[in-house]
Amino acid sequence: MMEARLGVITCDKCGLPMKERKPVLVMAEGDIMESDDELTFQGSCVRYACHLDCWDGVEEDARQDGR
Ligand SMILES: [Zn+2]
């Protein structure tokens, strides 16, 4: 289980508040502290948070591969 504290309470996609008990998607920035068979990740800040329903995948810009 992971617990994170968000500095914003609104969805980065639709701008509406994210309420408790609603499924959300959070992207966190942090460091890998250990790498064996598993990675131990220590998060330092949240880069992006939105409702799970609002998530439509990676932004188009990020996956332009020149096709
Ligand atoms: Zn939303």
Q: What is the pLDDT of residue 8?
A: 78
Q: What is the pLDDT of residue 17?
A: 94
Q: Is 12 left (phi over 0), alpha (psi -120 to 50) or beta?
A: alpha
Q: What is the pLDDT of residue 12?
A: 92
65 C-alpha vs ligand 1 centroid, how far in Å?
28
Q: What is the pLDDT of residue 66?
A: 59
24 C-alpha vs ligand 1 centroid, how far in Å?
8
Does the residue 61 lie in any domain?
no
What would the two tokens of residue 66 be? 């020149």
State if pTM tops 0.85.
no
57 C-alpha vs ligand 1 centroid, how far in Å?
13
Does the residue 4 lie in any domain?
yes
The H or E element spanning position 39 is strand 39-51
Host domain of residue 37: 1-54
Does the residue 64 lie in any domain?
no
Structure confidence by residue, pLDDT tens digits, 8-57? 789 999 999 999 999 999 888 899 999 999 989 888 888 889 999 999 87
Task: Indicate the number of domains in the chain.
Answer: 1
34 C-alpha vs ligand 1 centroid, how far in Å?
34
Q: Is the pLDDT of residue 63 over 70?
A: no
Does the residue 66 lie in any domain?
no
